[in-house]
Amino acid sequence: MKAVVETRDLTKRFGNNYALSGLTMTVPRGHIVGFLGRNGSGKTTTIKILLDVIRRTSGEATVLGEPTGSVAIRRRIGFLGEDKRLYSYMTVREMIAFTRPFFPTWRIETETRLLADFELPLSRKVSALSKGMRTKLGLLLNLCRHSELLILDEPSEGLDPVMAEQMLQNLVRQAADGTTIFFSSHQVAEVEQISDHIIAIEKGRVIFEGSLDHLRQRFRRVNLVFDDPPPPEAFRRDGVDRVIAQGRTISILASRNVDEIAELGPLLAAKSVDVQSVGLKELFLEKLKGDHANS
């Protein structure tokens, strides 16, 4: 099965508030997929629905081909929540011993290796662990499962830069072993670094998605400088996403047809034409503005 997660028109209503309004997305197998969105955009709600912690209002959602309510799929996935909280009264050893039997794909070699790498004290109670240690334990409990899919909600939240880097490294390693990683984040930098696929969400809907490299290669910013800039309507062409006028500069976000759009420069007698690549942050912010304008 090509997709590890699929949702169709997924909607979740809390009272009068729609946390998700028709979310349709596909998480492809074998990739590191970044679920990018602002705070309150619906990332955590989506993940909770996938785990059946919250029930959807309408629409469909499947994980590994099964409906989200299935208990069996939870044997094949891993989850690390934003809170990263575990049972405070258990020791590290007990937490591992408690979790291990649930997962038939658990590997002891990974457990041994990570215990050493993470330097986790076996006899210490969870309540006595620092946040960093707790995160490492939570990560260990997931990585040892070697599950088909690993879902993480804001994995580096609250972590110092060193720990965050270690976290990402471990995710990359897990991906190399065949686990599909689906992680939500509002930090563009880390999403841009390790993801090869992006799903961007705002106000409970997908605003863009696709292979990150594909997005990088498609989108360009074309800056045209004029003595007397023509009105934005003059730049309507196939592939023009947004046109911003700033003084003498017309800045165009182009999603394709870049050559033709750049030709508008000499065509409209621009003083200068400049074509730049677009980073994810810029793309995301532009799409948010566009979405705002449309809603």
Q: How far is the CB of 80 from another protein (least distance, A)?
A: 9
d(CA 259, CA 20): 38
Nearer to another protein, 8 or 75 (CB): 75
> Cβ of residue 1: shortest distance to another protein, in angstroms?
18
Least distance to another protein from the beta carbon of 65, Å?
16
Of 17 and 295, the one with the shorter C-beta distance to another protein is 17
**Residue 219 corresponds to which tokens in the numbers above?**
């989108």
Which H/E stretch holds residue 151?
Answer: strand 149-153
Nearest residue (CB) to another protein, 21 versus 57: 57
Of 162, 92, 163, 94, whose CA–CA distance to 132 is shortest? 163
- Specify the residue, 151 or 206, whose C-beta has the smaller distance to another protein: 151
| Minimum CB distance to another protein smaller for 41 or for 45 | 45
**β-strand 32-37 against 197-202: which pairing, if any?**
parallel
Q: Taking the complex as a whole, how short is the minimal distance between the CB of residue 61 and another protein, in angstroms? A: 14
Cα–Cα separations (whole angstroms), residue 258 to 141, 209, 231, 251, 269: 47, 20, 19, 13, 17
Least Cα distance to 117 among 81, 151, 143 occurs for: 143
Residues that bind another protein (CB under 8 A): 30-32, 48, 51-55, 71-72, 74-75, 79, 81, 83, 85-90, 98-99, 101-103, 165, 168-169, 172-173, 175-176, 188-189, 192-196, 212-213, 216-217, 219, 262, 265-266, 270-273, 275-282
Say which amino acid occupies 121: P
Q: Cβ atoms within 10 A of the Cβ of 5, count? A: 26
Q: How far is the CB of 121 from another protein (least distance, A)?
A: 20
- CB-wise, 72 or 293, nearer to another protein? 72
Sheet with 3-14, strands from edge to edge, namely: 17-28, 3-14, 58-63, 66-67
| Other Cβ atoms closer than 10 A to 95 | 22
Q: Closer to another protein at the Cβ: 191 or 206? A: 191
- The least distance separating another protein from the CB of residue 295, rounded to whole angstroms, comes to 26
Strands lying side by side in the sheet with 77-80: 77-80, 149-153, 180-185, 32-37, 197-202, 205-211
Residue 156 corresponds to which amino acid?
S
Give me the least distance between CB of 79 and another protein, in Å please. 4
